[in-house]
Structures are given as structure tokens and as C-alpha cells.
Amino acid sequence: MSQNQLQELAGLVDKFSLGNGIHSTAIDGLNCIKLGEINDRLPSVYTPSLCVIVQGKKRALLHDEIYQYQPSEYLLASVDLPVIGQVIEASQDKPYLCLQIELDLHQLAELIVQTGFSVNNNLTSQRGIFVGNMDAALNDGVLRLVRLLEAPKDIPLLAPMIKREIYYRLLNGQYGQVIAQMTQSGSHMQRISAAIQILKADYNKPIKIEDLANQVGMSVSSFHSHFKAVTAMSPLQYQKRLRLMEARKIMLAETQDAAATAYRVGYESPSQFSREYARMFGLPPKRDVSLILSNPAIA
């Protein structure tokens, strides 16, 4: 991405970001993100989306893997993943600025059919998150999409067309085959994505791996193998991260104590909950929540 393009995008993202945080826009599925300082590690569930940094730097931690990206690079999540993100370059003068384009898998599937894109159905399962380079064609599409924010009357007609173009560029880019797997009924990626939705819906309930594998039409051994290939963790580790993230939200929003929260998110032992919480967030529940409430910028 040229310096002029980056400067223009940075100006537009800053203009349509009213303060720090994630801001929805007049274009469905396009969000502007701004942060004026380096932040602590923030756990969240990344949903299928394309994230393009236009100023600053960020890293995402998936289990024990680090994905760092900066201007002229993008991060794409192909399934829902519990990730710990951290902005590592930002200031009040030069805030972290990022665009998030939520991926519409139905539109992506339609485009694959309409363009005759050849999907490699023998592709082995790939990690559900990756960092790629912004090429000239993808840069151009993203810039034209964001420019529409200054021409609201053009959005209904042109935004869907430009988003389709962006999908097309992604399909024909370095990770095109991985992206295509997201849409293929019966693919390993699609089956693991379905299992993830079940885990999210029933995060606070006991799970049997045999039942989960059966629900998505896979053998237990195959399910374990492909789940870890996509998410970098086992189904039980995935569920644990969901529980801990939800517990933190509950304690911050409802000021509920750790023991009650532990039972609410599915733990049978408050002491085990506290140990695993401290391992993930760096502090025991009570101290972590108190610190955040006294300094909201941390979260």
C-alpha cells in the first residue's frame, strides 16, 4: 500500500471513529477501530473477518502462537477463535487505526459458484487465522469501499459490489484456497466451524467429544486432529477459554463474585476456576476485575 493510500485511509478511519473503540459505519459489516495508546492483552472471540491496519501495530495470540501485523498487511479469521489481542504501537498523536470487514460466507459461496473458482477439496485443514500481504488490487478495493463513507447516497448500490470485489481479490490471493474452504459444505473447515458454534452455544455445559464429533459427521480421531489444526487447541481447551472470557465479562458487568461466576460458566470447582483464570489473565479473578474497574483503559 502506498504512503498516500495509507495516509488517506488513516484520515478516513480517524474521521469515522468517534474516540477510542470499535465503531460501526453506514456500510454494513464495515467497522472502524481506533486506540490512542498501547493496551494490555485483551481476550476476545474473533469472528470471520478481514482486518486491515492502516496505522500502528498489533499482535494476536492464539493459544501459544503469535500473529503480528502492521500497515500493508491484513489478518483474516476464517472461524470463531478465542484470541488475545494487544495493540503494540499507538499514541495520542498517531493512534492505532484499523478497518474490520466482516465476511459474509453466503456471499462468498455465491461468488465461488458464479466465478467458477476451482476449490481444492483435498486441502488439509489449515489454521483458522493468518496474516497476509495487501497487494495493489486488494488495497484499491478496500480504499474505494472506505471512501464511500463520504458519499452515503452511493453506499446502497456500490458497497455490495466493492465488497464482492474484495472477496474476489482474497480468493485469488495467497490464501484463496483456505478462504474457499470456509464456504464448502462438508469440508473439514466447515465441520469444525459447526462444532465451534455448538461449543459457543453450550459453553457452560459438559461436553462429550464423541457426541460433538457425531453431530458434525466426523470420527473422534479425525475430529480431534482437524479441530486442533484449525484452532491450535483441543475442543476442551477451546471451551475453557470461552468460559473464562465469559466469566470475566460477567464479573465486570454484574459485579458477581468469583465462586458464583465459576458455577455459572460451568466450572464445578471455584479453586480450579481461579487457577485457570489467573493463568489466562495474569491475575486472580478478584484482583483482575478490581484493576480493570479502577482503570477501564486496561480493557
Q: Which three cell numbers stand for residue 87?
A: 495493540
The answer to whether residue 297 scores a pLDDT higher than 70 is no
The answer to whether residue 80 scores a pLDDT higher than 80 is yes
The answer to whether residue 29 scores a pLDDT higher than 70 is yes
Mean of the pLDDT values across residues 279-288?
Answer: 93
Strands (E), the chain: 21-24, 30-35, 42-46, 49-55, 57-62, 65-69, 73-77, 81-89, 96-102, 129-133
User: Using one digit for the tens of pLDDT, what is the confidence trace for 175-229?
Assistant: 999 999 999 988 999 999 999 999 999 999 999 999 999 999 999 999 999 999 9
Mean of the pLDDT values across residues 274-292?
Answer: 93
Length of the chain counted residue by residue: 299
Rg (CA), the chain: 20
For the chain, give the percent of residues with pLDDT over 70: 98
Count CB neighbours of 62 within 10 A.
20
Task: Identify the band that residue 170 occupies on the pLDDT scale cut at 50, 70 and 90.
Answer: very high
User: Using one digit for the tens of pLDDT, what is the confidence trace for 46-60?
Assistant: 999 999 999 999 999
Mean of the pLDDT values across residues 137-154?
Answer: 98
Single-letter amino acid code for the residue at 190: Q
The answer to whether residue 299 scores a pLDDT higher than 60 is no
Instruction: Identify which of 206, 215, 141 has the alpha carbon closest to the alpha carbon of residue 173.
Output: 141
Looking at residue 296, what is its pLDDT?
A: 59
DSSP letter for each residue of 208-249: -HHHHHHHTT--HHHHHHHHHHHHSS-HHHHHHHHHHHHHHH
Task: Identify the band that residue 298 occupies on the pLDDT scale cut at 50, 70 and 90.
Answer: low
- Which are the contacts of 264, defined by CB distance < 8 A and separation ≥ 6? 204, 247, 250, 256
Contact 130, 175 (CB under 8 A): yes
Give the pTM. Answer: 0.91
User: Using one digit for the tens of pLDDT, what is the confidence trace for 115-132?
Assistant: 999 998 778 889 999 999
What are the phi and psi torsion angles at 30 (to 5°)?
-110, 120
CA–CA dist 7, 79 (Å, integer) = 31
Out of 1.20.140.10, 2.60.120.10, 3.40.50.2300, 1.10.10.60, select the CATH number for domain 185-299. 1.10.10.60
Q: What is the DSSP letter of 186?
A: T
Instruction: Identify which of 57, 88, 43, 87 has the alpha carbon closest to the alpha carbon of residue 283.
Output: 43
The answer to whether residue 10 scores a pLDDT higher than 70 is yes
CA–CA dist 184, 277 (Å, integer) = 36
What is the residue extent of each domain of the chain? 3-181, 185-299
**So what CATH class is 3-181?**
mainly beta
